[in-house]
Amino acid sequence: MSEEMKNNSPLEPYNTGQDKAGFTPGGAFEAGSQVHSAKEAKANIETPTENEQYDLSDDRRVKVLSPGRLVLQRFLRNRVAVAGLIILIIMFIFSFIGGALTPYGEAQVFYRYDKQNKVYAAVTENTELRFDTKDPAFTSGVQAQMFLAISTNKTEFEYRGDKFTMEKVSDDYYTCSKDGQVIGNAHMDIMNYVKADGNMGFDFENEAFKAYVTKATSFAIDGKTYTVDSDGTISDGSTPIAFMNKYVVRPLMSDQFLTREWQEELVESIEAGEEAFHFTGEDGVEYEYFIEFDPRTNSWNINQLKDTRVFDTYAPPSSEHWLGTDKYGMDMLTRLMYGGRISLIIGFVVELIAMILGIIMGGIAGYFGGWIDMLVMRLCEIFFCVPSTPLLIMLGAAMDTMHVDPTKRMMYLMLILGFLGWAGMAYMIRGQILSLREQEYMAATEATGLSVRRRILQHLVPNVMPQIIVSVTMGVGGVILTESTLSFLGLGVKFPFASWGNIISSINEIYVFVNYWWCWIPPGMLILLTVLAYNLVGDGLRDAFDPRMKR
What pLDDT, on the 0 to 100 scale, is given for residue 139? 92
Q: How many CA atoms lie within 13 A of 335 on its CB side?
A: 33
What pLDDT, on the 0 to 100 scale, is given for residue 487? 84
Q: Which residues contact 334 (CB under 8 A, 6 or more apart)?
A: 99, 102, 104, 105, 106, 108
Element of type H or E holding 124: strand 111-125
What pLDDT, on the 0 to 100 scale, is given for residue 1? 43
**Sheet with 181-187, side-by-side order of all strands:** 130-133, 181-187, 173-178, 162-170, 156-159
What are the CA-CA distances from residue 534 to residues 21, 470, 478, 493, 545 (Å)?
65, 10, 9, 22, 16
Alpha carbon distance 480, 492 (integer Å): 11
Alpha carbon distance 464, 203 (integer Å): 96
What pLDDT, on the 0 to 100 scale, is given for residue 11? 43
What pLDDT, on the 0 to 100 scale, is given for residue 17? 43
What pLDDT, on the 0 to 100 scale, is given for residue 493? 85
> Beta partners for 168?
174
Q: How many CA atoms lie within 13 A of 524 on its CB side?
A: 10
Express each pLDDT in 277-305 by its tens digit: 998 888 788 888 999 998 888 899 999 88
- State if pTM tops 0.85: no
Residue 398's CB is within 10 A of a number of other CB atoms, namely: 11
What pLDDT, on the 0 to 100 scale, is given for residue 198? 80
Express each pLDDT in 21-50 by its tens digit: 444 444 444 444 444 444 444 444 445 555
Q: Within the chain, what is the greatest distance between any pair of CA atoms?
A: 181
Instruction: Indicate the burial class of 170 (C-beta count within 10 angstroms; 0-12, 13-18, 19 or more).
Output: middle
Alpha carbon distance 429, 464 (integer Å): 7
What pLDDT, on the 0 to 100 scale, is given for residue 41? 43
Nearest CA among 67, 4, 59 for reference residue 545: 67
pLDDT tens, position by position, for the chain (551 residues)? 444 444 444 444 444 444 444 444 444 444 444 444 444 444 444 455 555 555 555 555 545 557 778 888 888 888 999 999 999 999 999 999 998 899 999 889 999 988 888 888 999 988 888 899 999 899 999 999 999 999 898 999 999 889 999 999 998 899 999 988 999 999 998 888 888 888 888 999 989 999 999 888 899 988 889 999 888 899 987 788 898 888 888 888 877 888 888 988 999 999 898 999 998 888 788 888 999 998 888 899 999 887 888 899 999 999 999 999 998 899 999 999 999 999 899 989 999 999 999 988 988 888 888 899 899 999 999 988 888 888 888 888 888 888 888 888 889 989 999 998 899 889 888 888 888 877 788 778 778 888 878 887 777 888 888 888 888 888 888 888 888 888 887 778 888 888 898 888 877 778 888 889 999 999 999 999 999 999 999 888 888 887 555 44
